[in-house]
């Protein structure tokens, strides 16, 4: 672990165990339904890859890229679509797969955007959630871990595009971004 990382917050096995629990819940809730998993690039790639492989439910996958953070550590509140979905959402059961919800601004915008496309349902699964997220009115059905306010990296999450490949979630030493 480089000196830029402070400590491991959630280990690889803790992540995998939790995703197995979430997958079992999702399997129960969507029994007999066809699911469309929507991953939000790039952060959600690891969650999508591991969560989807633990599902038994019949699922397809699509991706969207939006920007809200740039390379800094603070939400701008401005959301832009960088890559839209290929799939038509009409009548589909949509599950948004997220890495982390911080302010919730990105997600609440995304849920509204997807709901306007005529899906049968829209729910959200996220690996991580920060305390600020409680302030926005977005119902997040599946949450892996509630974490403190610190800036974290790893398991899809970056700082200036680094650290996404780590199999665990770690806090970044403040001297890196202060
Ligand atoms: P929100 O709009 O909920 O404030 O932010 C959502 C997005 O901001 C996440 O998908 C992620 O890209 C980024 N983000 C929020 N908190 C963190 C964090 O602690 N670490 C990293 N690497 N990205 C974060
Ligand atoms: Mg994300
Ligand atoms: Mg980022």
What CATH number is associated with residue 64? 3.40.50.2020
Question: Complex ipTM, two decimals?
Answer: 0.94
Any domain includes 36: yes
C-alpha 6/C-alpha 26 separation (Å) is 33
Any domain includes 5: no
pLDDT, position 176: 84
CB proximity list for 178: less than 8 A, separation 6 or greater: none
Helices 45-53 and 12-29, interaxial angle, to 10°? 60
pLDDT, position 76: 59
64 lines ligand 1 (CB under 6 A): no
Q: Which atom of ligand 1 is nearest to the CA of 130?
A: 16
Any domain includes 6: no
- Pick the catalytic residue: 4, 27, 86, 102? 102
- Prediction pTM value: 0.92
pLDDT, position 46: 98
Strand order in the sheet with 59-67: 80-83, 59-67, 35-41, 93-101, 121-129, 142-146
pLDDT in tens, 141-167: 999 999 999 999 999 999 999 999 999
């Amino acid at each position: 672990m480089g000196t830029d990382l402070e400590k491991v917050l959630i280990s690889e096995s803790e992540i995998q165990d939790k995703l197995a629990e979430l997958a079992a819940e999702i399997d129960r809730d969507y029994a007999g339904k066809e699911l469309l998993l929507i991953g939000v690039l790039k952060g959600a790639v690891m969650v999508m890859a591991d969560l989807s492989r633990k599902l038994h439910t019949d699922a397809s996958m699509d991706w969207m890229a939006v920007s809200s953070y740039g390379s800094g550590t603070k939400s701008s509140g401005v959301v832009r679509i960088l890559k839209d979905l290929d799939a038509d959402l009409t009548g589909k059961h949509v599950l948004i797969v997220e890495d982390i919800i911080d302010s919730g601004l990105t997600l609440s915008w995304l849920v509204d955007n997807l709901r306007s496309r005529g899906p049968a349902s829209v729910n959200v699964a996220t690996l991580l959630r920060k305390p600020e997220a409680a302030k926005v009115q977005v119902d997040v059905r599946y949450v892996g871990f509630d974490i403190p306010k610190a800036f974290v990296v790893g398991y899809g999450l970056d700082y200036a595009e680094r650290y996404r490949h780590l199999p665990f979630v770690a806090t970044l030493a403040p001297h890196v971004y202060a």
